[in-house]
Chain A
Amino acid sequence: MQAPGSTLPSPDDRELVEGFARVVAVEPGRVWLEPEQTSSCGGCHSAGLCGVGSRNPKRLELRRFALGGDLGLQMGERVVVGIPETSLSRGALVAFGVPLVFLAAGGIAGQEFGRSDGLAFVGAVVGLAVGLLVSRVLASVMTARGQLTPRFLRRAYQPAQGASCSPDQG
């Protein structure tokens, strides 16, 4: 069992989703990392049009995260971080699934009791607001348990100076 908030890999984590990040700031007791531009999409010839292929520094800055503990990392260093696969799916369900369930329930209740589109709309909006609040509470519980915190796995492979290629190997 691991202490809540720990950023080290746990033996309980059967499968981790791994990603690359770069150290952008080092503070006493924690480091700030910026995830490398990755895309869930495989990419195509139109990648520049949908924004997947473009490197937006502001977007990456918003996704910066901190890792606690003395990890001995230097500025600019590339590391491999991971998060349990179950956390990702649970996070998606909490962030998107819970508000939608409340939205649908509120909308149906409004329609059934009021028999009008106006009340159904009000019910759906109220349901969405309640769902977002519930989602926020659940998300804070998951964060407090450290379920959504990426874990430091290892330093990423650094190509030798003057190497002709730099494979993205962990």
Chain B
Amino acid sequence: MEHYILLFISAALVSNVVLMRFLGLCSFMGVTTRVDTALGMGASTTFCITISAMIDWGIEYYLLEPYGLGYLRTVTFILVIAAAVQFTEATVRKVSPTMFQLLGIYLPLITTNCAVLGVNLLLVEGHMNFIESTLFALASSLGYSLVMVLFAGLRERLALADVPRLFAGPPIGFITASLLALAFMGFSGMSTN
């Protein structure tokens, strides 16, 4: 169990997908104007990344690797991600049509989110077993959601702050993001323990 906890912390904080690997920056800047939208986007992305990682693990180890089809990896993973988004959409609609009305707007954004593809490709490099890759994907996406919500909270406060005109809008957003990335660098020492 300790192994899983360490894997979880490492994927979510030490190797944070946004602030350490610089993936998913489009949604990081675009969807973080409010905490509630950031949370909705984070939750739906977490679900899609985990589901697509499960399927991609099977495809990689039972199809692509044994038959030497590694050159089809990116195309195959993109197709799986698109299918996972459709599956998520259908599932949410089935679970609760009301929730689909509330959360359905985030799903089209996930298809083109490079963090989803990035996490799936990182899993291949890691040569992990099924449960490790699923937990790594879950933890990575939870790390993504955490950063999204943190950054959205900061931006909500920045919207009320008296920012010099030259820095207003995206510039102060990028400066804040860089400070947040510096703060997350503090977790890097944990990986050696």
Q: How many residues of B contact A (CB 8 A)?
A: 47
Contact A41 B130 (CB under 8 A): no
Within 8 A of B (CB), among A19-44: 35, 38-44
Q: How many residues of A contact B (CB 8 A)?
A: 51
Contact B95 A135 (CB under 8 A): yes
Interface residues of B (CB under 8 A from A): 4, 26-27, 29-31, 33-37, 39-41, 43-44, 46-47, 50, 54, 58, 61, 91-96, 98-106, 108-109, 111-112, 129-131, 134-135, 138
Tell me, rounded to whole Å, the shortest Cβ–Cβ distance linking A125 to chain B.
Answer: 8
Contact B39 A41 (CB under 8 A): no
Contact A40 B135 (CB under 8 A): no
Interface residues of A (CB under 8 A from B): 17, 35, 38-44, 49-52, 59, 62-63, 65, 83, 85, 87-89, 91-97, 99-100, 103-104, 107-108, 110-111, 117, 120-121, 124, 132, 135-136, 139-140, 142-143, 148-150
- 30 A-B pairs within 8 Å (CB atoms) are namely A35-B101, A39-B109, A40-B37, A41-B30, A42-B29, A42-B30, A50-B108, A50-B109, A52-B108, A59-B104, A62-B93, A65-B101, A85-B36, A92-B44, A92-B103, A94-B99, A95-B92, A95-B96, A95-B103, A96-B43, A96-B44, A96-B103, A97-B43, A107-B131, A107-B135, A108-B131, A117-B129, A117-B130, A139-B96, A148-B99
